[in-house]
Chain A
């Protein structure tokens, strides 16, 4: 419980926790759009491209004024976005190539500026390279306040333009036919994404910031099918992993903040992919296994019923070996029969002899009925679907 009391008494820890949660909420919210619009890697390009912006802002002002550095980062991120769009629109180079190129060249240029700055005799320069992997411990209350104001403003934009951003993400062309200013909306949303990335740079760093944009939304998507809930969950995941990661990294020296936060949120993503209800892989496997078992059981039941049709009594017993040949090449007929017996559909009459019970007969009849009427219903469900 030490850490909890520290949270309220320790200034640094409180600052770090507040800052990381602001960053997590903002990037979780806007990351939702980035993931849904399939712009995840654009986030990577923007965050790498922010480095030269920070360096130039520092060179121009000669001081580490947070808002100036953020502004420089935002402008550079914006220029990178425009460069990617220009390259893809005017040449044959595809989106991925343009992203990779812009990302690495901007970042390289940023390094040139950083090494150049390091050689200027100026006491202020120290700590600029914390922007590579982030340094939560370097946050002060003023930084957090600035982040909070910017973050709040961008959340407000999302609230005001809620339905516009929703349709922009789902069906922009349709929105245009209704006369909505799609281009302006697109630019606004991209600007908000740039802002969200820039907010996190000091804490997470340029190299891994994109993961903080993508991961919370990717995790949240698994738990819900509603945009609003997805966004709230995503913000919560972002905030939680931001706080956890920043606190872990500031509790022991030597571990940079960015990677720690990424690992926290990465763990949440992995859990979500496997365990979320409906979409989660584990449930999917269980469903598939149940389905195939149900089909196997039904097959045995129907085989028994079909065999019995040759006799006067529908509970005429039959050899297990016959059933094995008929339905189950895996040779699990015995287990299947045992399960059916437990459910009262069959009974064992001899060492290898099995017969349908009355409920078993009724069940088989019902199955045949539904299968006879099923095709039309199934056709409607599967027709043309993907």
Chain B
């Protein structure tokens, strides 16, 4: 599996990517290179196209133009190298199934038709649950989980995919302190194992602490690169439309058009503390 990666290829190579819903552009002409082994935060206001970027890379939305290479090849050829943690709210948590079952779903792509997950797969799933501190909950019905626990189940599901490249859509959204610590520990471990992780992130304050690399996005690419070079007040001002300073005083919402799934509150709080 590892051998199939060209040694020189970047983890992600996005070239001139444009995505539009009907006639409304969501991403304009994005160029982005994500080197191997980085922890990258994708940051931007609501409606900036962060989730769309992830979905375009994962082949879930069709771009109007541009191409995406994952380890030097089209995504379809490299699926086995990629794991995905969708937003927690994207599924119905009242679905009649338990924690272990959800984690096992991460293996469905590899198991193939007609086969059911066996004891080997169960062991993998339990190991993944162990890593996120949820091993005790394997038999628990998913509707009985807290938000943070749901998030950790989704992380475990991505872990069993045993990927090189991880995409996470707002994993820190609305989770408790325990889960936040668990996610951060997991991110660090993934980096140690030289995995690449791209995380849509809302809390500007924690970007320098959790990530080594950042993409500032607002329909266009504002800036991307190592946190210490790119995560500057000027760039943030460009990203959030020059309202950052204004915000610090009035503590008002950043974006007049909030995406209903994303709350503005966490952004708010962190923005106050930037300068």
Residues of A within 8 A of B (CB): 36, 38, 160, 162-164, 166-167, 169-171, 173-180, 221, 224-227, 230, 379-386
Contacts and interface: CB of A to CB of B under 8 A. Distances in A.
A168 to B, nearest CB: 10
B90 A179 contact: no
A179 B83 CA distance: 12
Given A178-B79, A178-B108, A178-B109, 7 more contacts: A167-B108, A170-B102, A171-B86, A173-B90, A177-B79, A177-B82, A381-B146
B262 interface: no
Contacts of A160: 114
27 contacts: A160-B114, A163-B105, A163-B111, A163-B116, A164-B113, A166-B105, A170-B91, A170-B97, A171-B91, A173-B86, A174-B86, A174-B105, A175-B105, A175-B109, A176-B59, A176-B60, A178-B79, A178-B109, A178-B161, A179-B109, A225-B141, A380-B176, A382-B176, A383-B147, A384-B146, A384-B175, A385-B148
A180 B97 contact: no
Interface in B89-130: 90-93, 95-98, 102, 105-106, 108-109, 111, 113-114, 116-117
Contact of B90 (A169, A171, A227, A381): A171
B108 A384 contact: no
Nearest to A163: B108
Contact of A386 (B60, B95, B147, B175): B147
A384 B79 contact: no
A384 B148 contact: yes
A380 B84 contact: no
Contacts of A386: 93, 147
A31 to B, nearest CB: 14
Report whether over half of chain A's contact residues are helix, strand or loop; otherwise say mixed: helix
B86 A170 contact: no
Contacts of A179: 76, 79, 109
B58 A177 contact: yes
A174 B174 CA distance: 21
Interface in B215-262: none
B108 A175 contact: yes
A227 B58 contact: no
B97 A227 contact: yes
A176 B54 CA distance: 13
Contacts of A177: 58-60, 79, 82, 84
Nearest to B172: A384
A384 B147 CA distance: 5
B97 A380 contact: no
Given A170-B91, A170-B92, A173-B86, A384 B176 contact: yes
A380 B59 contact: no
Contact of B176 (A224, A226, A230, A379): A379
A347 B116 CA distance: 62
Pick the 4 closest A-B CB pairs, nearest first. A383-B176, A178-B109, A384-B147, A385-B146
Contacts of B178: 380, 383
A360 B184 CA distance: 45
Given A170-B91, A221-B96, A385 B147 contact: yes
Interface string B155-180: 00100010000000000011111110
A382 B149 CA distance: 10
A36 B96 contact: yes
Given A163-B108, A171-B90, A383-B179, A36 B60 contact: no
